[in-house]
Structure 1
Amino acid sequence: MQEHLKPTLAYGEEPGLRFALLLDGQGGGKALTMAQLCEWQPEDGIGWFHFEHNHPATTDWVSTKGGFDPLVAEALLAEDSRPRVEPVDSGLLIILRGVCATPPEEAENHSPEVDLVPLHAWVDERRLVTLRDSGHYITALRDIRVALEKGKGPKQIGELLAMVSDKLVRDLEPVLDAMDEEVDELDELIFQGDAGEVRQRLKLLRRRSVQLRRYLAPQRDALSRIEHDDAPWLKKPDKLRFREVIDKLMRFIEYLDAIRDRTGILHDDLSTVIGERIARSSNRLAALAALLLPPSVVAGLFGMNVGGIPGVHDTWAFVVIVAFVSITSIATLMVLKRINWL
């Protein structure tokens, strides 16, 4: 079959099929069309076939032409996205999560926001089949495909699976670094920024850290199951690489726990700052009420519509009352300053 292979690694030229590659065992690979893929046999070489998960052509190939057990085909096409690994005969059914980013050709028209998206996979000794939803772009798979194009990619199936897992975890680091930088920024904004904006950003950041951990913890367990699987195509170097990936993932989970704890502390600090601002405002209002109390009492007394009010016929009475109120207000102000209310 190999004499019919295309010389370049075509990407997304056929509906549902992102790419299909045959590894040459030297770090390179050659591309297959969908028609050639349907004719592929294990003896033709190790293959890596990447599809759009929710495309009708993918459903047709997985269900009827991929040679999968019906339960495996159903699991590959299911919407279940929680990371897990299930041994089936001589292969592994794998669901992992990877960083989704905007494709380079669309980067100018989209925000650089990233997210974790599911990657469904089946791997045995002769092929790796991966599926991801259309509209998502997993940079880890692109990097491996480019490495194969340059002749610097994996040489056998265990190395390919280990590299995919490694790069899926590797791409989490910039996401966590960005979250950590946002925590530092919010730490500075608490005492000088808008409290409402800071509270909203803290809430979103904490929710994001919880969501990431929700997927990364089972992903660590899934990768650990792959490391301890006794499949003959998983060589010792591959298992060592899986161990390094698991250690890195554990550090990232601890990193997420630290971010979550820091956001909790910042939320408490923000509540304290808001409480202090409210207390200062209340003190000012209380001080203003205290300053206005003497004039209010005097005005209330002399404003009563009853007989016997002194100074009714005295031309100096108003001046005396104003002087008394002024002196009383000044004395009240001095007392408030002395007790640190102002």
Structure 2
Amino acid sequence: MLDKPKTTATPTATYGEEPGLRFAVLLDGQGGCRTVDIAAACSWKPGDGVMWLHFERDHPASADWVNTKGGFDPLVAEALLEEDSRPRVEPIGDGLLIILRGVCAAPPEDEETEEDDLDLVPLHIWVDEHRLVTLRDSGHFITALRDIRRALDIGKGPKKAGDLLALVSDKLVRDLEPVLDGMDEEIDELDDLIFKGEASEVRQRLKLLRRRAVQLRRYLAPQRDALNRIEHDDAPWLKERDKLRFREVIDKLMRFIEYLDAIRDRTSILHDDLATVIGERIARNSNRLAALAALLLPPSVVAGLFGMNVGGIPGVNDTWAFLIIVAVVVVISAATLWVLKKIDWL
């Protein structure tokens, strides 16, 4: 009887087992990795292979490691732990200090839940030939890093530091596409609502959408410049293949920025259409009120004249006077209605 072949389970990535450290892996140079703890990371030497450490930027343990155990220049450590930052790149020695923005998504345990408000969160990076250190705020989850980690666990990840950095940049930009597609679909939906005359809920949604487009562009433009600077850096560990990927990422990011400009222009057009619809509705309601006032004017005049408490009012002693007055009012009102329709007021 033949033995059944043994099946090997896909390793499961673990996160956050040590304070402030999301994960630490040592690349094997073949597309895979080996998970290490913080003690092994502190004793790591460049000859051991490429190390990737991912921290929570605002955790005290992370700040302690960056300031005392990471071996960084004080200015680099300060920049890595800085709270407010815009995308930029600074060559320092043989490494690069990089700050990019990535899409914040649901945490791994809540993958089936949909986020109503995706945002761009800062990702602080230090990279050289032998090590890549990334930091993001606690409570935020960047799908790009999660995908790369999973690829490493199954042996299909990057092999060198330059390859890893290029892949991080590529996936950060890639995750912007569904956000922009969602914004474009929302614009189409708002356009349909305006066309159907259902403009009551459009104004607030349009305002938020336009603000979101402006905010995204505010960060993507400097991110394009930052990636362009990485591509032209002369670091020896950045291979030609890595720079080719950076060029593709920059081209995709430029298209996304143009896409955002188009979205902003479309929101401006929709805002003008909404203002036109609201103006037409106000004018139509004003015409109706004016027509109603015109229809009620003859009865009001007659009622005012015959309601005066003075002598000499005709028909006081006539049994048919009231019916005659009612008939006259009906005729005048009908004539007024015909005139209003004739001049397209109704």
**Normalising TM by the smaller chain, what interval?**
over 0.9
Superposition pairs of residues 159-238 of structure 1, within 5 angstroms: 159-192=163-196, 194-238=198-242
Correspondence for 1:52: 56
Give the secondary-structure state (helix, strand or coil) at the position aligned to 1:188.
helix
Range with bigger deviation, 328-337 or 100-109: 100-109
Segments of structure 1 that go 5 or more residues without pairing to the other structure are 1-6
State the superposition RMSD in angstroms. 1.5
User: For each residue in 1:295-338, what CA deviation from the matched residue of structure 2 results, as whole angstroms up to 9, or x when unmatched?
Assistant: 11111122222232222233332222222111111111111111
CA distance 1:112–1:280, shift in 2 (3 Å):
closer
Q: 2:105, 2:115 within 8 Å by CA — same for their partners in 1? A: no
Out of 262, 268, 277, which is 1:273 matched to?
A: 277
Out of 153, 157, 162, which is 2:157 matched to?
A: 153
Give the secondary-structure state (helix, strand or coil) at the position aligned to 2:159.
coil
Q: 2:26, 2:35 within 8 Å by CA — same for their partners in 1? A: yes
- Tell me the percent identity: 79
Superposition pairs of residues 272-291 of structure 1, within 5 angstroms: 272-291=276-295
Give the paired residue count. 336
Out of 240, 253, 256, which is 1:252 matched to?
A: 256
Q: 1:169, 1:245 within 8 Å by CA — same for their partners in 2? A: yes
Distance (whole Å) between structure 1 residues aligned to residue 146 and residue 322 of structure 2? 89
Out of 67, 78, 87, which is 2:71 matched to?
A: 67
Distance (whole Å) between structure 2 residues aligned to residue 55 and residue 129 of structure 1? 15
Distance (whole Å) between structure 2 residues aligned to residue 240 and residue 60 of structure 1? 37
Amino acid at match of 2:123: L
Give the secondary-structure state (helix, strand or coil) at the position aligned to 2:141.
coil
Distance (whole Å) between structure 2 residues aligned to residue 257 and residue 221 of structure 1? 17
Correspondence for 2:43: 39
Distance (whole Å) between structure 1 residues aligned to residue 310 and residue 38 of structure 2? 104
Q: CA deviation at 1:112?
A: 5.3
Q: 1:9, 1:30 within 8 Å by CA — same for their partners in 2? A: no
Out of 11, 18, 21, which is 1:17 matched to?
A: 21
Segments of structure 2 that go 5 or more residues without pairing to the other structure are 1-10
Give the secondary-structure state (helix, strand or coil) at the position aligned to 1:95.
strand
Q: 1:21, 1:48 within 8 Å by CA — same for their partners in 2? A: yes
Distance (whole Å) between structure 2 residues aligned to residue 295 and residue 262 of structure 1? 50
1:307 aligns with 2:311: yes
Correspondence for 2:300: 296
Q: CA deviation at 1:107?
A: 3.6
Correspondence for 1:117: 121
TM-score calculated relative to the size of structure 1: 0.95
Report runs of 4+ in structure 1 exceeding 4 Å deviation.
none
Q: CA deviation at 1:110?
A: 6.4
Q: CA deviation at 1:194?
A: 4.5
Range with bigger deviation, 301-310 or 136-145: 301-310
Q: CA deviation at 1:41?
A: 1.2
Distance (whole Å) between structure 1 residues aligned to residue 326 and residue 65 of structure 2? 96
Correspondence for 1:325: 329
Amino acid at match of 2:96: L
Distance (whole Å) between structure 1 residues aligned to residue 13 and residue 302 of structure 2? 93
Distance (whole Å) between structure 2 residues aligned to residue 68 and residue 48 of structure 1? 15
Q: CA deviation at 1:134?
A: 0.9
User: For each residue in 1:239-274, what CA deviation from the matched residue of structure 2 results, as whole angstroms up to 9, or x when unmatched?
Assistant: 111010000000001111111111111111111111
Distance (whole Å) between structure 2 residues aligned to residue 112 and residue 321 of structure 1? 65
Distance (whole Å) between structure 2 residues aligned to residue 231 and residue 277 of structure 1? 63
Distance (whole Å) between structure 2 residues aligned to residue 280 and residue 155 of structure 1? 68
Q: 1:101, 1:113 within 8 Å by CA — same for their partners in 2? A: no
User: For each residue in 1:198-220, what CA deviation from the matched residue of structure 2 results, as whole angstroms up to 9, or x when unmatched?
Assistant: 10100111111111001000000
Q: 1:8, 1:31 within 8 Å by CA — same for their partners in 2? A: no
